[in-house]
Amino acid sequence: MASAATTRILEKNPANIPSIFGPKLDSGRSSESVPIVFLITDDIADREFLKSLVARQGWRFGTFESAREFLARPRRLVPSCIILGLSPELNGLEEQEAIVRERSEVPIIVISRYADVATSVKAMKAGAIDFFVRPFSDETLLLRMRATLEHSRLALQREMELSELRNRYASLSPRERQVMALVVSGLLNKQVGGELGISEITVKAHRRQVMQKMKADSLPDLVRMESALGSARNAIRLV
């Protein structure tokens, strides 16, 4: 039976994510859009069962015997999730904590052949999306995997869009950033010029450059961009 969970916010900068993954990944397709399900377990039966289940969905599959082995592999900028198997030999909660510390952008689903309420609660508090105790149906697990991979895909899409906005903003000169901040606050060109001690004509020239570099079609479009950048900055400060 699966317990309810609240999905984690996936906010990580993908700028340093490499594009190469190790040879232990099984893949019948090369497209970077194909989701990857990672399994961390020392249980051979679970490994074969999940490998078959994932293959039938057309997803890619990677297996690891420990969190250390998983973390040694480079990140991939692709929708993904982890199935973490608990067993007496594998301290799953410690494994989970290690993953959350270093790869918090990858959602974790925990499965176990044994578990008590305390273990389930600890796993959920440590950031698991869900906790399954056998017996559970294939379809129940698949439903959660599909939802988790879709959540991962949307989070990556948002991050890629935000990364592009950051790159555009980084291309602005210091003066253009000042003009942008004042314009989106609602000031008219003349008022912006008064604030910065420059002519209205100069403000218009800077504003035109801001619109072009940010690829904004209108002032409301530019305001939305500033709002997105501001929200990202606030999220970073709260982490």
3-state secondary structure labels for all residues of 7-54: CCCCCCCHHHCCCCCCCCEECCCCCCCCCEEEEECCCHHHHHHHHHHH
Q: What is the pLDDT of residue 66?
A: 85
The label of the residue with tokens 């420990």 reads 66
pTM over 0.75: no
Q: How does pLDDT run across 125-172, given as a tens digit for each residue?
A: 877 888 888 888 889 999 999 999 998 898 888 888 899 999 999 999
Compute the C-alpha angle 40/44/46, nearest 5°.
Answer: 65
* Residue 6 banded pLDDT, cuts 50, 70, 90: very low
Domains of the chain: 14-157 (3.40.50.2300), 171-238 (1.10.10.10)
- Please report the pLDDT score of residue 33 as a whole number: 78
Q: Between residues 75 and 23, which one has the greater pLDDT?
A: 75
Q: Is the C-alpha dihedral spanning 186, 210, 231, 7 positive or negative?
A: positive
Q: What is the tens place of the pLDDT at every residue in 9-63?
A: 233 333 332 222 233 334 344 456 799 999 988 888 888 888 999 999 999 999 9
Q: How far apart are CA 78 and CA 19, in angstroms?
A: 10
> In the prediction, which pLDDT does 118 show?
74
Confidence of residue 91 (pLDDT cuts 50, 70, 90): low
Query: Quick one: what percent of the chain has pLDDT higher than 90?
Result: 41
What are φ and ψ of residue 139, in 5° steps?
-65, -35
